[in-house]
Amino acid sequence: MSRAPHRPRPRGRRSSWRRAALCLSLLTAAACPKEPPPPAPPAEPPPPSPQVADLGDQIFDAWFAARPAQATAIGDHRQDGRWPALGEADIAADLARIDDSLARLEAFDASGLGPSDRVDLDMLRNELLLQRFEHEVEKPWLRSPMWYAHLIGDGLEDLVSRDYAPVAERAQAVAERLEGLPALIDQAIANLQPGQTMQPQTQVAQRQLDGLMALLDELPARLPDAPAEALQRVEAATGPAREAVQRLHEHVDLLLPEANASWRLGKENFQRKLALTLQTELSADEVRRLAILEHAQVRARMAELADELADVLFPPSRKRAILRSSSADPETTIIAAVLEELSNDRVDPAQLRDRVETTLGRLDAFVREQGLVTLDDSEVLEVIWTPPHQRGVAIAGLAAPGPLDATKPGLPSFYLVQPVPDDWPQSYRDSFLREYNNFMIEILSIHEAIPGHFVQLYYGKREPSTIRRVLANGPFVEGWAVYAEHLMVQAGYSGGPPASASPPPGVSKRLWKVMTDPELRAKAIALHGLKFYLRTVTNALLDHSIHAGEMDELEALELMVFRSFQQEGEAKAKWVRAQVTSTQLSTYFVGAQAWFRLRKQAEAQDGFDLRAFHDEALRHGAPPVHRLPELMASPAADEAPDPSADEPGLDEEPAGEAPDEAELVEETDPDPSP
């Protein structure tokens, strides 16, 4: 999910998961596999130079003082009781703070610095330029009611979701923020003027503000054992805070009919922001070209695998009938038919979170058995429903503790699962569950949890450099999670057998054979891995076509559903996400390609060890992937990969010419469903 993950607390039953309970959660009776001996520990990364560290601390101190809620999320708790000041003079002062920090960087003598310090300075400069872009172009405090819903929700949630400090301190901070909330909302209402807000952000804010009201009501219960005096202060401030949020909600409702400000960045601004987001030399047009090429290659590999599974899932006569009944090309028809049949292995909406949770034990055991990356038993992961005030943008996500809270043991990470909305039409609900069937949940959990985001983020928080702990390159983070999907599939991951001894309703005997045969199940997971990766490639195309072009909802749905095999419910949710975010959807594809190149480069070195490579690559925070060779203790440091190199991913071969851009994005096949 996003560069700045949310940190909610579980609702209802707590879905904790630890290594100690791993064997009991496996669906087979076999004992936990013996973990291979770990490789020799790598040398500790060098600490940053005092001059660079001091400069970073000065810039962070000014940043955190100006943006206290963001400081809380990062793990700096000096500002926990405050909200940002958002009046016109305050906004101008914040821009001056950014310019002053950039001037400090320009005046700093970087000659003679080592690779680690050079990377730190570049990442710090890039972050400040992104903040300046927000001031000059995006101005969310004037244009996005959703920005305020996130600010308020996260600013309260982060105080109660984890025990980062004694409950008395956290309760005091909650009370102070509640007491300051009416003034913040008065400023929000003054800033958000009719005709100046963006429609998608205004619509999403309506639902998130409803969720925020629920959060306010439960805050006292989220502070167990807090001193009575502090709880009384929280309860006394809750009423005025609720009234203020209700005023904001009513204001947002009035804004919606006139919310006609453009939410598209435009080509020039998109190119500028994308360069800052990616931190590579790739241009927006180059990313789009590479994505178009990759889209064709992934579809070709999907067709080969789907054809193998079709011979198991369908009798020959049924397969011929499927091909005859569709006006789409045979490749599209077979892929769609196989995916549709496999989607019958799915759970009911209420079981979605539990299904995700049971997957984690299998993933952990497989990673250890195969020696893919060293896991840490002390890290805690909990599977929870996404809180209401954070829903409406992403289907799932990983919310880790703030990077500056790394020294506090036992703080959990949360695997967020968005429940199927109750107000969706039944057709949308069914479509969503077909998309997130049991095979897809395996891939999703690899991406979000093990060995994806959960593992990468707890490695990253141990980086000695504060600059690199706080700042994270999006392609590194999302690219690792996509690379992890490929890693597990290539290692032969096959999930687990069904919990029942006989086919459940809606599952044919042929599908049951796939579900119960480990080899066939691995193929089904691999096909969904390719489908998930095709979504990654499609994300980059959407990002460019929507924000640098004029793609509308119908064109976006045609690309996602008819060319990329997504269910309509997932595609509609992605359309919303693509409107309210920009450039983040490109990080998955660009980052995955960078990780593929880095892996190939490392494999060319003598004595390559896969687990040692992963352990070493993950322990440097989250810098741009093409900068890793400068930081890793490897001869590859002298051969840094070209970030604009056009290479296929791991074990990938070109699959003929790519379609023309217009053909891919603007033309569609007929409905590919059987």
Give pLDDT tens digits for 556-577: 999 999 999 999 888 998 999 9
* DSSP β-bridge partners for residue 579: none
Give the confidence band of 423 by pLDDT, cuts at 50, 70, 90.
Answer: confident
3-state secondary structure of 496: coil
Amino acid at 50: P
Instruction: Convert the pLDDT of each residue in 238-256 to its tens digit.
Output: 999 999 999 999 999 999 9
Give the confidence band of 668 by pLDDT, cuts at 50, 70, 90.
Answer: very low
d(CA 154, CA 215): 10
Residues 6+ apart with CB under 8 A from 645: 597
At 518, list the tokens: 């480990």
CA 569 vs CA 39, 221, 427, 447: distances in Å = 44, 35, 8, 20
Regarding predicted confidence, which is higher, 633 or 351?
351
Could you tell me if 536 and 482 are in contact, meaning their C-beta atoms sit under 8 angstroms apart?
Answer: yes
Alpha helices in 108-162 (DSSP H): 115-133, 140-143, 145-160
Number of Cβ within a 10 Å radius of residue 424: 15
The pLDDT score that the predictor gives to residue 383 is 96
Instruction: Convert the pLDDT of each residue in 454-477 to its tens digit.
Output: 999 999 988 999 999 999 999 999
Could you tell me if 472 and 123 are in contact, meaning their C-beta atoms sit under 8 angstroms apart?
Answer: no
- The mean pLDDT value of the chain amounts to 88
Mean pLDDT of 63-67: 98
At 173, list the tokens: 């901070």
The pLDDT score that the predictor gives to residue 409 is 86
The pLDDT score that the predictor gives to residue 393 is 63
Give the confidence band of 22 by pLDDT, cuts at 50, 70, 90.
Answer: very low
Q: Given a cut of 50, is residue 361 above it in pLDDT?
A: yes
d(CA 390, CA 211): 8
Mean pLDDT of 302-311: 97
- Percentage of the chain surpassing pLDDT 90? 78
Kind and range of the H or E element at 266? Answer: none
d(CA 323, CA 674): 8
d(CA 256, CA 261): 11
Which residue from 215, 219, 185, 172 is spatially nearest to 77, judged by alpha carbons?
172
Q: What is the DSSP letter of 386?
A: P
End-to-end Cα distance, the chain: 32
Q: Given a cut of 50, is residue 133 above it in pLDDT?
A: yes
Where does residue 16 rank: exposed (0-12), middle (13-18), buried (19+ CB within 10 A)? middle
Dihedral sign of CA atoms 14, 15, 17, 20 in order: positive
Instruction: Convert the pLDDT of each residue in 158-192 to its tens digit.
Output: 999 999 999 999 999 999 999 999 999 999 999 99
28-37, 84-93, 342-351: which has the highest mean pLDDT?
Answer: 84-93
d(CA 494, CA 525): 7
d(CA 356, CA 562): 27
Strand order in the sheet with 16-17: 16-17, 381-385, 413-417, 396-399
Measure the CA angle with vertex 34, ends 33 and 40; round to 5°: 135
Q: What is the DSSP letter of 27?
A: S
Give the confidence band of 395 by pLDDT, cuts at 50, 70, 90.
Answer: confident
Instruction: Convert the pLDDT of each residue in 607-631 to its tens digit.
Output: 999 999 999 999 999 999 999 999 9
Number of Cβ within a 10 Å radius of residue 94: 21
Could you tell me if 598 and 625 are in contact, meaning their C-beta atoms sit under 8 angstroms apart?
Answer: yes
3-state secondary structure of 278: helix
Mean pLDDT of 645-658: 40
Residues 6+ apart with CB under 8 A from 284: 267, 270, 271, 274, 275, 544, 548
At which residue do the structure tokens 């006989």 appear? 502
Amino acid at 226: A
Q: What is the DSSP letter of 133?
A: H
The pLDDT score that the predictor gives to residue 44 is 62
The pLDDT score that the predictor gives to residue 396 is 87
Q: Given a cut of 70, is residue 657 above it in pLDDT?
A: no
* DSSP β-bridge partners for residue 401: none
The pLDDT score that the predictor gives to residue 62 is 98
Could you tell me if 544 and 270 are in contact, meaning their C-beta atoms sit under 8 angstroms apart?
Answer: yes
- Percentage of the chain surpassing pLDDT 70? 86
The pLDDT score that the predictor gives to residue 43 is 56
Could you tell me if 442 and 360 are in contact, meaning their C-beta atoms sit under 8 angstroms apart?
Answer: no
Mean pLDDT of 17-26: 36
Residues 6+ apart with CB under 8 A from 389: 149, 153, 157, 208, 209, 210, 211, 212, 214, 215
Which residue from 597, 356, 360 is spatially nearest to 475, judged by alpha carbons?
597
Residues 6+ apart with CB under 8 A from 570: 395, 431, 432, 435, 436, 560
Dihedral sign of CA atoms 157, 160, 161, 166 in order: positive
Instruction: Convert the pLDDT of each residue in 314-350 to its tens digit.
Output: 999 999 999 999 889 999 999 999 999 999 999 998 9
3-state secondary structure of 384: strand
d(CA 241, CA 247): 10
The pLDDT score that the predictor gives to residue 392 is 67
At which residue do the structure tokens 């770990």 appear? 38
Q: Given a cut of 70, is residue 366 above it in pLDDT?
A: yes
Q: Given a cut of 70, is residue 156 above it in pLDDT?
A: yes
Percent helix / strand / coil, the chain, rounded to 5: 65, 5, 35
Q: Given a cut of 90, is residue 535 above it in pLDDT?
A: yes
d(CA 294, CA 75): 39
Could you tell me if 188 and 86 are in contact, meaning their C-beta atoms sit under 8 angstroms apart?
Answer: yes
The pLDDT score that the predictor gives to residue 66 is 98
- Predicted TM-score (pTM) of the model is 0.87
